[in-house]
Amino acid sequence: MYLSFSVSNFRGIHSLSISHLSDLNLVVGKNNVGKTALLEALFVHSGGGNPSLALAVQGFRATELGRIELGLASTPPWESLFADLDMTHPIIFESEERENRFRVTQIQPVLDADLSKLYARLQKPADPQTQSWPRPALPPSVLTLISEEPRRSRQSAQKPRRRAQSYLILDEQGPRVFPFPATPPFQTFFVSDTAHATINEDSELYGRLARGKTEHLLLDSLRKIEPHLKDVREVSSGGQPMLMADIGLDRLIPLSVMGGGILRLSRLLIRIANAENGVVLVDEIDNGFHHSALPSLWRVVSQSATRSNVQIIATTHSLECIKAAHQVFLEQFDTTFELHRIDRRNGKLVCTSYDTEILGAAIDSELEVR
């Protein structure tokens, strides 16, 4: 879990640091200050050295990658990840985590001069059982992600650290990662405001809860928002798994029929339950909910996150959502909450953090906290 995080040269963020990350965090700010980009950066950094996540985050904004074109004039699909589309400066993520851990991730394209060395390694694998990769006819696009071994203090940053380096290679054979990245330090999920999770993913994650006999916890939480819900079941329809709802009718209905809010909440809670001791990132957490339901939303999310020991980092534009969170966390002393407001001052991004007490004073004084 994160205590602080900094970003350099990612999306629209040239430089941004956020401190005082708590159990539950709400990130606010005007449009185009980097709220969603911050969540995307956290997701990539949480991957523990997997460069394919650089492509995955494109889908969080419903970006269609379409056909990958190769050749001298082609544009790499990850160009938009770099600030000002300038790939000469690496993307850098740095984090302080619990248990006094510090990690650094660096992302940059591989230059033409280094491609020959890379493909020489691919053509002569260290494992004789591994199939070699032929050199492509067209110039490939290659992105490298370098993840430093976690260190135990900031002072040890001056000492040489072991670095794990993986490559995302796009050539005629399609996208591939070499070598296979290490296991992530903790489970992380991203719940996007625009991209739709697949039915298969929802069913697979729900199935894990059912196999562990914990799906009743999801149902109990959903009932606090939708009291007519009697049960949630995984049903195969036309060979496709689906989550169905029992609301007392003579047949089950697709969970999505109950509305965007309850569907999105179910997806969020399923991922919290599957991210034990990890992190869940949520873009526009209040999307699909009436303002009167927001206190119940925060209570359900807080209880679920506490039960699974999951850190929540979410965004919103809504003052009602901020006030509801403040109201709920005044009542709960076992969960820490922090509001983080990102502003652009003199062309630079700065983050101001508010704990529950300071946020309450700002709200009472009718100060702008969004």
Q: How far is CA 105 from CA 72, 178, 186, 345, in A?
A: 28, 17, 15, 27
Report the 10 Å Cβ neighbour count for 120. Answer: 10
Residue 103 pairs in a beta bridge with 95
Selection from 52-61, 75-84, 322-331 with the highest mean pLDDT: 322-331
Secondary structure of residue 55 in the 3-state scheme: helix
Helix axis angle, 260-274 to 294-308, nearest 10° = 20
* 215 pLDDT above the threshold of 60: yes
pLDDT band at 239 (very low <50, low <70, confident <90, very high): confident
Tens-place pLDDT, residues 175-193:
888 888 888 889 999 998 7
> Tokens 């650290």 identify what position?
161
Cα radius of gyration (the chain): 22
- pLDDT of 256: 84
Would you list the domain boundaries of the chain?
Answer: 48-178, 196-333+355-364
Q: How far is CA 40 from CA 57, 66, 219, 247, 352, in A?
A: 6, 20, 29, 36, 20
How far is it, in rounded angstroms, from Cα 359 to Cα 245? Answer: 38
Tens-place pLDDT, residues 282-320:
999 999 899 999 999 999 999 999 999 999 999 999 999
Q: What is the pTM of this model?
A: 0.90
Average per-residue pLDDT for the chain: 86
Secondary structure of residue 110 in the 3-state scheme: coil
196-333+355-364: CATH topology:
Rossmann fold (3.40.50)
* 171 pLDDT above the threshold of 80: no
- pLDDT of 250: 93
- The CA-based dihedral angle spanning residues 321, 326, 329, 331, taken in that order and rounded to the nearest 10 degrees: -120
For the chain, report the end-to-end CA distance as a whole number of angstroms: 25
Secondary structure of residue 293 in the 3-state scheme: helix
Q: Pick 130 or 101 by higher pLDDT.
A: 101
How far is it, in rounded angstroms, from Cα 35 to Cα 29? Answer: 7
- Beta strands 141-148 and 101-109, pairing class: antiparallel
Secondary structure of residue 22 in the 3-state scheme: coil
Q: Please name the residues in contact with 145: beta carbons below 8 A apart, sequence gap of 6 or more.
A: 49, 50, 51, 54, 105, 106, 107, 165, 166, 167, 168, 181
* 322 pLDDT above the threshold of 80: yes
Q: Please name the residues in contact with 170: beta carbons below 8 A apart, sequence gap of 6 or more.
A: 68, 70, 76, 77, 140, 141, 142
